[in-house]
């Protein structure tokens, strides 16, 4: 199918998708309207300040976004969203060429589901409901200064203390930590290895919890923090799920979250490519437009081709997932494919924009800065390649 050359913008670069219906289109419009009203006018200022105002949480809750994917009885959605709802959510929040607002706003997507599933009725009232209303915030803490990839070697401990636990250790690089009221942490309650790790919900204001910003991260986000736990007492009912089941509880969520990550990544690649195309049509060098130089034309086609490939793979994985399969190897490879696509498009967009990327185009500049994190967060490239290899029996 040929595309109207005037429409090789963010929307025009999304290949046709057989899975999108009218409800998805309406959802996309709702998301775009929210982003354009509440985020677009301020993104450059927030970028410079390395933060955004807390009121965005309540605005997102009022617009029905924070409750996305959670039970209606606690302030969530009436309907069960599907994977394309999730993908479009991520796409629209990355249309501005930055994932920082989304990363902080959506930390409860990972942190809250285990609480909804395993928490007491009291926790649903004190944690779930206020988080979905945007009144309280959560962060999700796995990574430690000693490493994030080798989770089986995690050293933060939660030793039995009376009927509860006493937590000691340090977590770092935690998105949204500095504004969190609750922390869902992975800590060692048992023996070495993955089977000794449990999920605990810790009040961020508990005695013995101390936080500081991660130096050097500025924008990415000033609320990304290191958290120190020094003899922090956690009541027994804050153990989320059974002891030793941290990663069993999280595995299903990680698979679902991977779709959001891929949606975000490919959206950023579309932004970079759209801006590169627009600039290549406008800028003249050596007496003709950039796009009239063969090398530039070919690079633009390479960018579009890799995006189309990414979406085809994404649609295939959605289709399989919806049939009840959990194609872990393909989900891992899809994420790597998407992040490589983004890095390629970010690099080439910066090259085509030349000095304009530093002078005027802030979307591409932001994308260049943030592209690397997509290859690290949600499972690094090496860890996912290894997971795929094991699944394929190597």
Ligand X SMILES: Cc1cc2nc3c(=O)[nH]c(=O)nc-3n(C[C@H](O)[C@H](O)[C@H](O)COP(=O)(O)OP(=O)(O)OC[C@H]3O[C@@H](n4cnc5c(N)ncnc54)[C@H](O)[C@@H]3O)c2cc1C
Residues that bind ligand X (CB under 6 A): 140-143, 147-149, 173-175, 220, 224, 373, 376-377, 380, 382-383
Given the complex with ligand X, which of 184 and 357 has the nearer CB atom?
184
The minimum distance between CB 148 and ligand X, in angstroms, equals 2
Q: Are residues 220 and 267 in contact, defined by beta-carbon separation less than 8 angstroms?
A: no
**CB-wise, 106 or 123, nearer to ligand X?**
106
CB of 106 to ligand X, least distance (A): 10
Q: How far is the CB of 146 from ligand X (least distance, A)?
A: 8
Q: How far is the CB of 215 from ligand X (least distance, A)?
A: 13
Considering beta carbons, is residue 14 or 171 the nearer one to ligand X? 171
Q: How far is CA 281 from the centre of its chain?
A: 32
> Whole-number minimum distance, CB 121 to ligand X, in Å?
28
Nearer to ligand X, 243 or 386 (CB): 386
- Map residue 71 onto helix, strand or coil: strand
Q: Which is nearer to ligand X, 98 or 306 (CB)?
A: 98
Q: How far is the CB of 149 from ligand X (least distance, A)?
A: 3
At its nearest, how many Å lie between ligand X and the CB of residue 85?
Answer: 22
What are the residues facing 187 on neighbouring strands? 198
Nearest residue (CB) to ligand X, 89 versus 220: 220
Helix (H), strand (E), coil (C) string for 155-174: CCEEEEECCEEEEEEEEEEE
> Cα-Cα-Cα-Cα dihedral of 58, 63, 68, 73, to 10°?
80
- By the 10 Å C-beta count (0-12 exposed, 13-18 middle, 19+ buried), 274 is classed as buried
Task: Please state the closest distance from residue 324 (CB atom) to ligand X, in A.
Answer: 29
**Number of neighbouring beta carbons within 10 Å of residue 244:** 17
By beta-carbon proximity to ligand X, the closer residue of 143 and 260 is 143
Give the integer Cα–Cα distance in Å for 298 and 271. Answer: 18
| All residues at 6 or more sequence positions from 135 whose CB lies less than 8 Å from its CB, including other chains | 57, 58, 61
Cβ proximity to ligand X: between 278 and 376 the closer is 376
- Per residue in 337-356, is it b (16+ CB within 10 Å) or e — as a string? bbbbbbbbbbbbbbebbeeb
**Residue 33 and residue 63 in contact, taking contact as beta carbons nearer than 8 Å:** no
Query: Are 233 and 325 a contacting pair, CB within 8 Å?
Result: no
Q: Are the C-beta atoms of 222 and 213 separated by less than 8 Å?
A: yes
What torsion do the CA atoms of 101, 107, 113, 118 make, to the nearest 10 degrees?
A: -150
Q: Which residue is nearest to ligand X (CB)?
A: 148
293 or 340: CB nearest ligand X: 340
Which phi and psi (to 5°) does residue 234 adopt?
-125, 125
């Amino acid at each position: 199918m040929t595309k109207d050359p005037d429409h090789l913008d963010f929307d025009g670069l999304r290949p046709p998708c057989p899975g999108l219906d009218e409800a998805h289109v309406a959802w996309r419009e709702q998301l775009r309207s929210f982003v354009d009203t509440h985020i677009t006018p301020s993104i450059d200022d927030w970028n410079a300040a390395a933060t955004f105002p807390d009121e965005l949480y309540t605005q997102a809750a009022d617009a029905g976004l924070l409750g996305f994917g959670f039970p209606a009885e606690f302030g969530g959605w009436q309907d069960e969203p599907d994977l394309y709802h999730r993908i479009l959510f991520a796409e629209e929040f990355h249309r501005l060429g930055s994932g920082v607002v989304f990363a902080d706003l959506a930390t409860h997507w990972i942190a809250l589901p285990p609480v909804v599933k395993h928490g007491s009725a009291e926790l649903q009232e004190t944690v779930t409901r206020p988080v979905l209303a945007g009144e309280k915030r959560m962060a999700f803490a796995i990574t430690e200064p000693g490493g994030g990839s080798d989770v089986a070697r995690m050293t933060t401990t939660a030793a039995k203390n009376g009927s509860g636990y006493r937590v000691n250790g340090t977590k770092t690089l935690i998105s949204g930590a500095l504004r969190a009221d609750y922390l869902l942490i992975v800590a060692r309650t048992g023996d070495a290895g993955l089977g000794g790790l449990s999920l605990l919900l810790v009040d961020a204001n508990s005695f013995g919890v101390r936080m500081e910003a991660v130096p050097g991260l500025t924008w990415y986000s000033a609320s990304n923090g290191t958290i120190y736990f020094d003899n922090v007492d956690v009541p027994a009912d804050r153990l989320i799920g059974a002891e030793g089941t941290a990663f069993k509880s999280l595995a299903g969520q990680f698979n679902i979250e991977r779709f959001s990550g891929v949606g975000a990544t490919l959206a950023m690649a579309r932004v970079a490519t759209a801006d590169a195309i627009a600039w290549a049509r406008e800028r003249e060098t050596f007496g003709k437009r950039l796009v009239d130089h063969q090398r530039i034309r070919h690079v633009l086609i390479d960018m579009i081709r890799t995006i189309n490939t990414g979406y085809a793979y994404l649609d295939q994985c959605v289709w399989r997932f919806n049939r009840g399969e959990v194609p872990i190897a393909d989900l891992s490879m899809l994420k790597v494919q998407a992040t490589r696509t983004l890095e390629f498009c970010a690099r080439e967009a910066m090259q085509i924009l030349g000095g304009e990327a530093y002078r005027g185009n802030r979307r591409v500049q932001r994308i260049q800065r943030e592209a690397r994190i997509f290859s690290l967060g949600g499972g690094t490239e090496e860890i996912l390649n290894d997971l795929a290899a094991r699944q394929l029996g190597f």
